[in-house]
Amino acid sequence: MEARTPRPPDLARCALFLDLDGTLAPIAPSPDAARVPGATVALLRRLVCATGGALAVVSGRSIEVIDRLLQPLRLPVAGLHGAQWRGPGSQAWELPVDRDRAARLLARLRDIAAGQAGIYVEDKDISFAIHYRHAPREEARIRAEVAAAAADFASDYTLQFGKMVAEVKPRGVDKGSAVERFMAVAPFASRLPVMAGDDLTDEAAFAVVARLGGIAIKIGDGDTSAPWQLPDPDALARWLDDLSARGPSGPPRHE
């Protein structure tokens, strides 16, 4: 793919929104194997300072897992595609769900994956995903069976396909609504939103960022509404590192 790199914005006027898997962390063989490089954690610390704290992670992971992957940092985060939210002052919100229905949905998904090599069910407490990266020939079957299961819970849940994953998540939230929630509070409000993400679930956030006149960056290949595109997490890290090395509205500093 050909990289389409945006003109460097002034970080002091930006609000950064970053996906995790495939954006801050390379795609791993399984969710449990994902790691955020130490250099990226250090970069995030610098970016928090450069943006005056206007940096949030917006991910399909739970807040608990995000915190573990980014330790020792504790950032504003939107977890489970916006079903969980923690603001800059540690104010927190979680979408209420019917736990009995969630348990029944999880059981259905586990039945779909039972005895199938290379197929893994990720339990995120109120959101659930079936990963089939290691069983690509089963994609059509998995998608059809998960769609049928999700349809039985359609009043509470919606189906979202991603890269070799089918996720059933609570209805009424997405990464776009999470970005809007951040942009309504300090220090994010009135800043230029910059969103980077790699998957279909990030498109809702890209749409909100575009409406607000911001910068949307797709990481990796694939169709996207984002006008800008970088090939991989390393390329994003280099771009962000260059931004952090610049003075306000100026070229990189050489010290």
What positions carry a catalytic annotation? 19
DSSP string of 104-144, one letter each residue: HHHHHHHHHHTT-TT-EEEE-SS-EEEE-TT-GGGHHHHHH
3-state secondary structure 190-242: CCEEEEEECCHHHHHHHHHHHHCCCEEEEECCCCCCCCEEECCHHHHHHHHHH
- State how beta strands 215-219 and 228-230 pair: parallel
- CA gap 16, 14 in Å, rounded: 6
**Whose CA is closest to 63, among 103, 20, 119?**
20
- CA gap 179, 177 in Å, rounded: 5
The residues, any chain, with a CB within 8 Å of residue 129's CB and separated by 6 or more, are: 31, 60, 121, 122, 165, 166, 167, 168
Structure tokens at 220: 């990796």
